[in-house]
Amino acid sequence: MALPDLAALEADARRELAAASDAAALDGWRTRYLGRKGRLTGVLRGVRDLPAADRPAIGKGANALKGTLEAAFDERREALLRGASVAQAAASVDVTLPARSLPQGQLHPVTLTRRAMEGVFREMGFDIVEGPEVEWDSYNFDRLRIPRDHPARDMWDTIWIDPEDAGGPAEGAEPPPRRLLRTHTSPMQIRYLETHRPPIRVIVPGACYRYEATDATHEWMLTQIEGLVIDEGVSFPNLKGTLESFVHRFLGPDLETRFRCDYFPFVEPGAELGIRWGGRWLEVLGAGMVHPEIIEAAGLDPERYTGFAFGMGVERFAMLRYGIDDIRYFYANDLRFLEQFRGSAT
Ligand code: YSA
């Protein structure tokens, strides 16, 4: 009796297994080689009929081949399953479906308000420029007639960037310049006058910062719109008319306004504007006639040129525009509040 050729059996099995490319072919292969009537099973069963001398080697070899073929079968089956799931996933992508929408951002209500205010000023003939938020103390204070140690500096609680020179300047020496987060947009009056000549009609929107406790009408970060108008023959009635015209265009003609005297070192005279807000008045801006010394320091003849300036609080205008009674909602980052402005016009 011829001995079984295990090497030939293995070669056949491996070739056919590699060619099996679906579940039915795999099943067929298993039946053919490892099933009850399979080729390898037949060899194992026939071991007992072999000559005694051949039994151990063939029995051992056939058993080892059984393990090898079972492992090869598992490997092949897994490879086929992996390939099938990739193909299935590819087939299940429906490119005609509408894309899943991503959450979309929107403009902040203060930005919407600022842009709407800019639009009204543009219609009124103003140019728009911006200036640095990190400012030198000379622009924020000194050149606006607020020297060091002047009590008027206390009007603006300041967030300094450079520390105060601990030892102080040597006797008779100028103190070193210091940077701060600008407390108002007024320093841009000085910067603009350095590079422009009248007629000047410009607004400067931007963020300002104050080391200030917050309450319903005060934030430590605020947005201002500075205004500067300089020309021959500009008068206080021009200031009043411009501001009232702006406020009525922006918030409506029925609004009640109130001008009162106010003090700012860089104007003479100075004023503030309040708007009726429920049962009380909300101060929305400071203003005044540009101080003649500032006009002169800019190299202009104050006998010939006069002007006015103002600084508006954009958050306060946003409160009036949207009927919001607490400024702190704007920067609390609560989406339930902010999402109410989705789709609002500027
Ligand atoms: C005055 C005269 C000028 O010729 C030009 C500008 C000015 C305004 C001056 N620079 C200034 O900052 N004045 S102010 O301190 O009274 O602020 C002006 C406006 O900014 C206020 O009327 C208010 O509307 C807003 N504001 C001030 N501090 C605020 C604030 N808004 C929110 N939070 C704060 N902490």
Interval 139-160: pLDDT, tens: 999 999 999 888 878 888 899 9
Interval 186-227: pLDDT, tens: 999 999 999 999 999 999 999 999 998 999 999 999 999 999
Average pLDDT over residues 230-239: 98
**Is the CB of 228 inside a 6 Å radius of any atom of ligand 1?**
no
Tell me the two tokens of residue 324.
């919001």
Task: Answer yes or no: is pLDDT of 68 > 70.
Answer: yes
pTM: 0.74
Closest ligand 1 atom to the C-alpha of 220? 35
Distance 338 CA to ligand 1 centre (A): 24
**Is the CB of 310 inside a 6 Å radius of any atom of ligand 1?**
yes
Catalytic-labelled residue, pool 47, 229, 267, 298: 267
**Is the CB of 225 inside a 6 Å radius of any atom of ligand 1?**
no
* One-letter amino acid of 224: Q
Of the spans 14-23, 115-124, 334-343, which averages the highest pLDDT? 115-124
Closest ligand 1 atom to the C-alpha of 183? 12
Average pLDDT over residues 275-280: 91
Distance 135 CA to ligand 1 centre (A): 17
Q: Which of 61-75, 107-121, 160-174, 245-259 has the lowest mean pLDDT?
A: 160-174
Task: Answer yes or no: is pLDDT of 85 > 80.
Answer: no
Query: Hey, whose CA ends up nearest to atom 20 of ligand 1?
Result: 313
Query: Does residue 316 have an active-site annotation?
Result: no
CA distance 169 to 174: 7
Tell me the two tokens of residue 136.
């030198």
**Is the CB of 223 inside a 6 Å radius of any atom of ligand 1?**
no
Averaged pLDDT of the chain = 92
Interval 299-346: pLDDT, tens: 999 999 999 999 999 999 999 999 999 999 999 999 999 999 987 776
Instruction: Return the ∠ at Cα 46 (arms to 45 and 50), rounded to 5°.
Output: 140
Please, are residues 308 and 238 in contact by the beta-carbon 8 Å criterion?
yes
CA distance 274 to 263: 15
